[in-house]
Chains A and B, each alone.
Chain A
Amino acid sequence: MKLSGARILLECLKREGVDLIFGLPGGAVLPVYDALYDFQGIRHILVRQEAAAGHAAEGYARTTGRVGVCLVTSGPAATNLVTALQDAYMDSIPIVAFTGQVPTHLIGNDAFQEADNVGITRPCTKHNFLVKDTRELARVIREAFYIASTGRPGPVHVDLPKDILVKEAEFVWPEQVSLRSYNPTYDGHPGQIRKAARLLLRARRPVLYVGGGVISSDAHRELLELAELTQIPVTVTLMGLGAFPSEHPLCLDMLGMHGTYYANMAVHHSDLLVAVGARFDDRVTGKIEHFAPQAEIVHIDIDPSSISKNIKVHVPIVGDCRRVLRALVDAVREEGGEEGLAQAREARRPWLAQIAEWRQKHPLRYEWDDNVIKPQYVIQAISELTRGEAYIVTGVGQHQMWAAQYYRFKYPRHWCTSGGLGTMGYGLPCAMGVAAAHPGALVVNIDGDGSFVMNSQELATCYEENLPVKTVIINNGGHGMVRQWQEIIYRGRFIAIDLDRSPDFVKLAEAYGCVGIRATKPSEVVPALEKAFATPGPVVVDVVVDRWEFVFPMVPAGGANRDMILERPSRAVKEQAARSQTGF
């Protein structure tokens, strides 16, 4: 059966199980849109700016575990999409992005809306393709989905010249994908797993340090089993939130720059650190020489290049987190036996007691105020009202860190945040993708007043496509995280941070057809949130908070994690922070 390239593309998407695509049309991809006109089974959501299509696809992918898809045109549309691709690349999110391209005979001619798309996206995708023959299209799309979703997941970009979409070819769906140059390792090495199991049984002060890999491989059950079986406390990275229930007694919450005191102290004093699907990012380790100095390190990751990249690892295990943890649980049982396990659990009682002491000494805390809303309180209120069951999406900045610290996570795949790239403006479009993927679910976008306006135009998409995202703006009248750094590290020389003339967010919401609510006093927070969650359709809650509230604990970039700043610092501490500021 001969079909046009555009039709082949849609047939392939259907066979890949794609039910939703986020996009914005333009000259070069018009053949695809024309084919969509009478194609059944794929919903297209029209975004207002191309980066939003990418972030929405990320939100879809993160919360469903399936590949997110976006479709935009050539030139400026493709360059707008680059931020989302790099974002997905750094956070290992499987998306396939299709861009239009000028017809093959015009490539290189500086044609209208031409850009070297594959040249631009090469360093920010797991892989990319320029299709030069309609007959190759089906194979390329099959490979794109396969590469995006297997191994360490990531974004794949497919560039589609217009003539390729118009020309016809025989449609043959390749049942199998075989790439001789790409064979991810899924099963961990049995000898290494045995070695790790013995270390787990022997260690006196072990800590599990888990990241986004546990979420993308759906390893949360195995993680829980391992942690409970061996009584090893668990700390999670920003990307790993939700991989282990926050309310679990073994949960140490987040570690790193804005991690909890007890998590950072536990890692610092550990004698065995088991990293699972995490990559020893600089925001986690702080000064690398002072990170877990006494610990032997076991590192489980599907990407061999993550291992021994930043820190020397004693027992590397390359493989899928879920399969390796499963094997590790079995190996621990076998190696230890009932008796050995009981002994191991007994032997680490003092360690758990020590951690409990740290937790009691410096829990996450903030000063309550009757008149000014504290941002942490807003997060706590959201957490309680949603019972930790909502999908939570954030922008980037202070509000993101407070959300990570104060929201009590119950489930994996319910948390979307831009971890690696730190993309401001990520919240609303990502939340849109989540809402589109989960009709009827409560999706809360916790955003900042700086972050929100970077993609606030997407309120129009939310309204038009009926995506009931509840945006809660933690409005502190400026770029709060920068304000915090300028106060603590740059001696209070504030510049370019105030956003006192932001639009009236309630009116802005209303202008887009959404509902706007404002809270300015602590007593108004819960009623405002309750109203927002009960109102159908997209809502914006503008919560005016204390602009001088900072995120603590804090490790100045380049400092050692044990030197956390726990509260508003004295002059001496600031001087020290300024001096130890060697990173960024």
Chain B
Amino acid sequence: MQNGQEPRKHTIAVLVENRFGVLSRVAGLFSARGYNIESLSVGETLDPTVSRMTLVVRGDEFVIEQVMKQLHKLIDVIKVTDLTDEDHVERELMLIRVNAEPQHRAEILRIADIFRAKVVDVAPLSFVLEATGDERKLEALLELLRPMGIQELVRTGKVAIARGPKTRTRKAEGRRAPRASEDPRVVGFAD
């Protein structure tokens, strides 16, 4: 079908039953229908019977509408939300092992500091940095580290959450839910 809309990235949150095989149902749907997943991350929610997936998908309005409908059609899918045009926060966690020659060590630490990245491993000739942020921030960090030589890189894929309402219409939750990026149970991949 013709549609004037340009393809763009959408961030879609999917609540699913925390059951064996759900991930392959979602992944299979994308491969069967020829949609592209840019990233996907999965983790348990506060309710251990429910998992939450965050998908980043590129497509025009028409493709995204179909993606949402097809996701919803899966029996194990409880809720599908497109966060793209909602007020939301997106984060991704990245681990980078970067060359750290003596003449570059101070520079790398300075960059890490500016980007609020943590050094989580120090070796004679390399650092491992842990960084979180949105896509633009992480890309900028990588750009600065590239000249030193990045040995290996791993990203969790994006996770996203809607912001709370700006007016005091709801009681605040007693306990703050851990941010997904801080949650050790979040696993995922990016390509």
Chain A residues near B (Cβ < 8 Å): 118-119, 122-123, 126-127, 130, 132, 147, 179-182, 288-289, 303-305, 308-312
The answer to whether B28 and A122 have CB atoms under 8 Å apart is yes
CB distance from B155 to the nearest CB of A (A): 27
Q: Does B75 contact A (CB under 8 A)?
A: yes
Least Cβ–Cβ distance between A131 and chain B, in angstroms: 11
The residue in chain B whose Cβ has the minimal distance to the Cβ of A156 is B75
Check if A305 sits within 8 Å of B70, measured CB to CB. Answer: yes
- Please, which residues of chain A bring their CB within 8 A of the CB of B28? 122-123
Q: Mark B131-167, 1 if CB is under 8 A from A, else 0.
A: 0000000000000000000000000000000000000
Q: Which residues of the other chain, A, contact B72 by a CB distance below 8 angstroms?
A: 304-305
Nearest 5 A/B pairs, CB to CB: A305-B69, A127-B75, A181-B78, A182-B75, A123-B32
Q: Which residue of A lies closest to B31 (CB)?
A: A123
Chain B min CB distance to A116 (Å): 10
Q: Which residues of chain B are near A310, meaning CB under 8 Å? A: 1
- Closest Cβ of chain A to B110, distance in Å, is 49
- The answer, yes or no, to whether B66 is at the interface (CB within 8 Å) is yes
Partner of A305, one of B16, B25, B73, B75: B73
Q: With CB as the reference atom, state the residue of chain A lying closest to B71.
A: A305
| Chain B residues, Cβ within 8 Å of A308 | 1, 62, 65
Cross-chain contact B75 with A181 (CB below 8 angstroms):
yes
Which of A122, A130, A288: most chain B CB closer than 10 A?
A122
Q: Which residues of B contact A118 (CB under 8 A)?
A: 21
Number of interface residues, chain B, beta carbon within 8 A: 21
If the complex has contacts A122-B21, A305-B70, are A147 and B1 also in contact, measured as CB distance less than 8 A? no
Partner of A312 from B1, B17, B70, B77 at Cβ < 8 Å: B1
Per the bound structure, the CA–CA distance linking A312 and B5 in Å amounts to: 14
Asked if A303 contacts B73 (CB within 8 A), the reply is: yes
* Closest B residue by C-beta to A143: B75
Most buried by A among B72, B73, B75: B75
Chain A residues whose CB sits within 8 angstroms of the CB of B77 once the complex forms: 181
Contact of B1 among A122, A180, A311 (CB under 8 A): A311
Nearest CB on B from A196, distance (A): 20
Q: Please give, as numbers and ranges, the residues of chain A lying within 8 Å of B62 by CB-CB distance.
A: 308
For this complex, 15 residue pairs linking A to B, each with C-beta atoms less than 8 Å apart, are: A122-B21, A123-B32, A127-B75, A132-B20, A179-B75, A181-B16, A181-B78, A288-B1, A289-B2, A304-B72, A305-B66, A305-B69, A308-B1, A311-B1, A312-B1
Q: Is the CB of B66 within 8 A of A309?
A: yes
B76 at the interface (CB under 8 A from A): yes
Contact A126/B75 with A181-B17, A310-B1, A312-B1 known, Cβ cut-off 8 Å:
yes
- A309: chain B residues within 8 A (beta carbon): 66
Q: A132-B20, A288-B1 are in contact. List 18 more A-B contacts (CB 8 A).
A: A122-B24, A123-B32, A126-B75, A130-B20, A179-B75, A180-B78, A181-B17, A181-B75, A181-B76, A181-B77, A182-B75, A304-B69, A305-B66, A305-B73, A308-B1, A308-B65, A311-B1, A312-B1
